[in-house]
Structure 1
C-alpha cells in the first residue's frame, strides 16, 4: 500500500446509535499515528447498514480505488456473518457486491471464524472481483487478532504481492499466525 492507500473498516455493533470507542478504533488510530496508514471506520447493525456503508464507499468516495483492504470486524462462523442475530452467507454478501470489489482484499478479524471451501472462496472472489479474502480459523475470547491485523496491514506498505505479504507475516509472527490459524483465499 502506498501513502495514498487506505483501509476501510466496517465493524458490526449491536446499535449504531450508541457511540463507543472500540479496540478496533484505537488500533486504527495507532496505525495512522505510528505508520501513517489512513483508515475510515464505520459501524453497522444490519445487513442494510453494511450494504449502505459499502455502497457509500463505492459510489460517493472518490478515493475508493485507494482502499486496498476492506477490514470486517463482525461475528459469524464458517462462511457467514452475524448482524443483530441474523446470519448472512458470504454468497449473499457476494451477490450484494457483484463486480464491485475489484482488486480489494477483504480481511476478517478473529471475532469471526473464516472457514471456506475452495468452491465457496472461488465463488466469492469470482462474483465480487476481490483479490483475496483473509481471516482466522480460531477464536480465542481472551486473544484479539488486532496486533496481527496491524502487522498484516503494515506489510502492504512494503510489499505488493499478497502471497509475499502472507509469507512475511508468517516469518515475523509465526506463533501468532499458527495459534489464530491465519488463512488466505485468493
Structure 2
C-alpha cells in the first residue's frame, strides 16, 4: 500500500443492542495508537446486519477504496460463518457480495476455523473479486489470534504483496503461525 493501511472490522456478537468493549476493539485501538492504522469497527448479529454493514461501507463510505483489509471476527467452521446460531457458507456470502470486494483481503480471526478446498477458495475469490482470504486452521479458546493479526496488519504498511507479507509473518512468528495454522488463499 502507499502509506496507510485501513481495516474494516466486523465482529459477530449475540446482540448488537448490547455494547461492550471487546478484545478486538482494544487491539484495533492499539494498532491505531501505536502504528497509525485506521479502522472502522462494527458489530452484527444477523446475516442482514453483515450485509447492511458491508453495503454501508461499499456505498456510503467514500474512503472504501482505502480499506484493503476486511477483518471478520465471527464463529464458524470450515467454509461457514455462524451468526445468531445460523450457519452461512462462504459461497452464500460470496453471492451476497458478488463483484464488490475487488482487491480486498478478507481476514478471519481464529474464532472460526478457515478450511477451504481449492475450489471453494477460488469460487469465493472469483465471485467477490477479493484478492485473498486468510485465517487459521486451529482454534484455541484460550489463545486468540489477535497478536498475530496485529503483526499481519502492520506488515501491510511496509509492502503490498500478500504472499511476501505472509512469508515475513512466518519469519517473525513461525511458532505462532504453525500453532494457529495460519492459512492464505489467493
TM-score, scaled relative to structure 2? 0.99
Q: Does 1:154 align with 2:157?
A: no
The residue that corresponds to 1:85 in the other structure is 85
Q: How do 1:18-167 and structure 2 match up within 5 A?
A: 18-167=18-167
CA drift at 1:132? 0.1
| Shift, 1:4, TM fit | 4.0
- Which whole-Å CA distance do the structure 1 matches of 2:111 and 2:2 have between them? 28
Structure 2: state its 5+ residue gaps: none
Summarize deviations over 1:43-63 as a string: whole Å, max 9, x none. Answer: 000000000000000000000
Could you tell me how far 1:3 is from its partner in structure 2?
Answer: 3.7
Which residue of the partner structure matches residue 172 of structure 2? Answer: 172
**Per-residue CA distance 1:115-172 (angstroms, 9 max, x = gap):** 0000000000000000000000000011000000000000000011000000000000
Question: When the two structures are aligned, how many residues end up with a matched partner?
Answer: 186
Q: 8 Å contact 2:14–2:84 — kept in the other structure?
A: yes
CA RMSD, aligned part only? 0.6
**Distance (whole Å) between structure 2 residues aligned to residue 150 and residue 37 of structure 1:** 10
Instruction: Confirm or deny: 8 A CA contact 2:133 2:185 kept in the other structure.
Output: yes
SS in 2 for 1:158: coil
Using the alignment, how far apart are the partners of 1:25 and 1:158 within structure 2?
Answer: 23
| Separation of aligned partners in 1, 2:162 and 2:75 | 25
Shift of 1:2: 3.8
- In structure 2, C-alpha distance between the alignment counterparts of 1:63 and 1:4, rounded to whole Å: 12
CA distance in 1, matches of 2:4, 2:146: 22
* Runs (5+) with no aligned partner, structure 1: none
- CA–CA separation in structure 1 for the residues paired with 2:153 and 2:160: 11
Superposed CA deviations along residues 61-96 of structure 1, whole A, max 9, x for unmatched, are 000000000000000000000001000000000000
Partners of 1:177 and 1:154 in 2: how far apart? 16
Separation in 2, partners of 1:88, 1:97:
13
